[in-house]
Amino acid sequence: MKVEQIAIFLENKSGRMADITAILAQNGINIRAMSLADTADFGILRLIVNDTERARQILKENGFTVGTTEVIVAEVEDKPGGLARVLQVIKDGNLNIEYMYAFTQKSGESGLIIFRFDELDKAIDMLLKSDVRLLSGEEVYSI
């Protein structure tokens, strides 16, 4: 149920995102989900890709600072209250969300929420017990 993502530390400098996406494209790496957060001095680009280890290696070879973390990808109904239901489970379980981001494939079907928790195994257990569908890494990488 855990999904591996890469985190790339970027200078706040024009063209860095273009450089990363070009490097990944040239090496056949497909981006499945992404999130960018920034501060005044640097940004953190989080990516879920179809080949995490290869992407990490290629980006390091090109001078980027890259790390990996594990996240959970939960499926939520694409209707009002879909996300609220999952967040209520998280609240009831007293879980701490470090960050989250989302994507959807087709409107009206389901949304996918990527969560990073401080207690990942506890979060997996609570969400599964509440009938929240969690996707495997293979499912996410192949989207």
- pLDDT digit string, tens, across residues 113-131: 999 999 999 999 999 999 9
pLDDT of residue 142: 84
Taken in order of first residue, the domains within the chain and their CATH numbers are 2-70 (3.30.2130.10), 75-131 (3.30.70.260)
66 DSSP β-pair partners: 8
pLDDT classification of 109: cutoffs 50, 70, 90: confident
pTM: 0.88
**DSSP reduced 3-state for 61:** helix
Tell me the pLDDT of the chain averaged across its residues: 92
Distance CA 52, CA 22 (A): 16
What backbone torsions phi and psi does residue 5 show, to the nearest 5 degrees? Answer: -125, 160
What backbone torsions phi and psi does residue 56 show, to the nearest 5 degrees? Answer: -60, -45
pLDDT of residue 108: 64
**DSSP reduced 3-state for 90:** helix
Work out the burial of residue 24: count CB atoms within 10 Å of its CB; fewer than 13 is exposed, 13-18 middle, 19 or more buried. buried
